[in-house]
A and B are shown apart, each in its own frame.
Chain A
């Protein structure tokens, strides 16, 4: 079986690129060591939340302020908007709400208003911008959600209109397990219909004008429990993202991977892309290792969406050398050899924070002279250098935008050739 495009990595960037290519008729293979950061991240699409210390109101309007080497620098606002609209349309079951023109402000599990461009419908009701009254509901025995701290912090948070917030605790029906994760609770919503319990626990304790924030654990298979709660409680109910594994993130992964599989794409987990057979500046085949050895997959195009240090796309050894782990690509954003790798204070600018690959506008990794390393290799997501995703709250936005853009670049080789000729 041969593939048109092989995608390395099954995180948000890889899934986005693969789905875009697949729906346009390409035969697509994703190879991945495991699931990606969908299972960690809150499932919001964070396009740009901060520029320095300033909270961004409109990501679209703020993109020009980003530095030149930033991944968004390879696309126009229109292209970004197209990619995000495509993403929302292809995750319709999750009901993403928002716009690149104005950030939502969603409460974190610490009670911080966090800017996100889009959120699934289970979370969007937590938008704090319009003020109002909120009640945060903890589940007794669930260690990853602390409503008193959330409410106390939000009451003091800088918001356009101050909010009122309070905390409640309810006790779930007893179970054999005393140590619960969000994932386990979400499974109980699916299998034991915990919505009944939550409705009866809350209906007399919540005011008619209060919005209800609960841990992001309202069902793993789908968000149907959330829908039922909103209908029966007759109030806005919203999930608040908490510690990994991320339940909304797992739903997002299921939506994208499900669409991919039903469209005929193939996802192989438990394997590692380890290199390439190349010829005349092109990748002819990707070498993929599994437990039995290394296999070659002949390809026309490749998308590298292997992630940054967190996912193993980049590695720093004990001697201070950073490398891109699949194709040994040249990297930018590395501190000089005699400089420290990390700043002494945690929240300071970290020298390695922007490390990654640099690309041309077709998202092809380039060498120091700006030439593509391979004609048919594109990169997307956290492997791209030049961004500080945690600080600027841009990680998922970059993944969606560059995953889509990498696919577009592969789908439009003719246009690419024209631009090559012009150069």
Chain B
């Protein structure tokens, strides 16, 4: 435990939240809306952990209806709430469960029963109707079911919650790493954190510390000598260049690898695998897992292997297991776990909320703040199920065409910095100022800059130039963020590089190495 050092600056709050994924910002927003003074710290950027690396499915609950009914019930309830309160983050794609020739069509009966029992609306439709809606789906499917799955934009959601929390007085501190928890007797009273950008350290004192570090929750709990058994279940995903499907298409079978294909903005994503990894910071993309996803994709959409694969990435699910050993990570419940360390280990002022999934982040936050209220002078009602995020007040759901719609009246009005994602210069400049960031990767998460087919081939030079012109970085900083971005991008690009996407990558090589000669840029 760190010793008190009076030279450090310090902050005070009712609630300190550790972790800036969906759960953490959800907790911070919930606490702030209930009137608690709140601080959130995140070691990296918001949504840089699991939340920003999941497939983007807003579950209807259908996927869990048979084997995890309580998770299914939570999903459908939260799905309905988020369609109202976070409407601008949700694209109402709908979900389609299909029985391919590799799936037992009789599972469909179990599926319907499970949906009925858990309150997930599900309707069987004729195969011809399913194929009319999704012409690329395998024409040999035998059954098809509609459910209210949707596509969720995790970055928009997390930043929306963070801004809302800030409007209600919370302080959100990305790039602040917890070095230690401060313990006074049998209480956690705060944390000692370091600003990873500026280097300065500070102390944050709080009545309640809420550990929302997801797959990293065990590491945080260790700092207070508490035990949280979270396993990291690594899931691999591949983004494809086009919307090969318009709905979230699931295989109608017990959840397994590579059985979801869903549209995400202008691309689509196939997921996922599930492999236990000992360290959530060490994920490795293996060729065999890529091949598995491509082969499963081929079963859902024939020709999948010839389609352009843009990018592969891995996220880690936080899988909480309290007691019994579980052999397969898929068999761990996907419901969440709220741990009050005062009843578990006699450490007061310290709660852990982990497990769960992005779809149920709001519910997890509600549970955590309810528990925190007990240590903060009594219950206060949760408001997150009713108060919409900024941009979602009218409850109108996100439309894929919105950026085009904004531009259409004046199609030539302004420079477009990222053609793939229709990002204008003013939008980029506003974001740089608002976020006060000089990292192209941070900007990517906010604007989806460089996430389209060319993977930054054109826009990244432009964005680096604009950062420099605006005086946000010096020449060395501009070069570094450009080089960092190219390396970071390559991590996700090279595991799935083939076919036409390799041609695209070679065009990017032309630009960066042939035209700009980026590798010889002065330091």
Contact = CB atoms under 8 A, between A and B. Distances in A.
Chain B binds chain A? yes
Interface of A: 37, 40-42, 50, 55, 108-114, 141-146, 148-149, 152-153, 156-158, 176-180, 241-244, 246, 308-312, 315-320, 340-347, 389-391, 393, 395
B314 to A, nearest CB: 14
Contacts of A312: 503
Interface string B440-478: 000000000000000000100110111011000011001
Nearest to B285: A344
Interface stretch (B161-169, B171-179, B319-327, B412-420): B412-420
Contact of B521 (A41, A153, A179): A153
A111 B521 contact: yes
A112 B514 contact: no
A180 B415 CA distance: 7
A53 B14 CA distance: 56
Contacts of A309: 502-503, 506
Given A142-B415, A241-B515, A244-B507, 13 more contacts: A41-B514, A108-B515, A108-B516, A110-B479, A178-B413, A180-B415, A246-B515, A309-B503, A309-B506, A310-B507, A316-B497, A346-B490, A347-B486
Interface residues of B, number: 53
Nearest to B425: A143
Contacts of B413: 178
A419 B490 CA distance: 47
Contacts of A152: 468, 474-475
A153 B490 contact: no
Nearest to B513: A390
B287 interface: yes
A146 B514 CA distance: 18
B499 A318 contact: yes
Given A109-B515, A143-B417, A176 B466 contact: no
Question: Which of A55, A241, A311, A344 has the largest count of B CB atoms less than 10 A from its CB?
Answer: A344
B123 interface: no
B412 A149 contact: no
Interface of B: 287, 294, 305-306, 309, 412-417, 425, 458, 461-462, 464-466, 468-469, 474-475, 478-479, 482, 486-487, 489-491, 494-495, 497-499, 502-503, 506-507, 509-511, 513-523
Nearest to A138: B469
A158 B522 contact: yes
A156 B474 CA distance: 12
Nearest to A315: B499
Contact of B462 (A50, A143, A148, A319): A143
A224 to B, nearest CB: 24
Contacts of B475: 111, 149, 152-153, 156
Nearest to A396: B514
Given A110-B518, A152-B474, A37 B510 contact: yes
Contacts of A42: 514-515
Contacts of B511: 40, 243-244
Question: Which of A141, A145, A146, A241 has the largest count of B CB atoms less than 10 A from its CB?
Answer: A146
A395 B509 CA distance: 12
A346 B487 contact: yes
B461 A243 contact: yes
Contact of A109 (B309, B458, B478, B516): B516
A278 B437 CA distance: 61
A393 B517 contact: yes
Contacts of A114: 517, 520
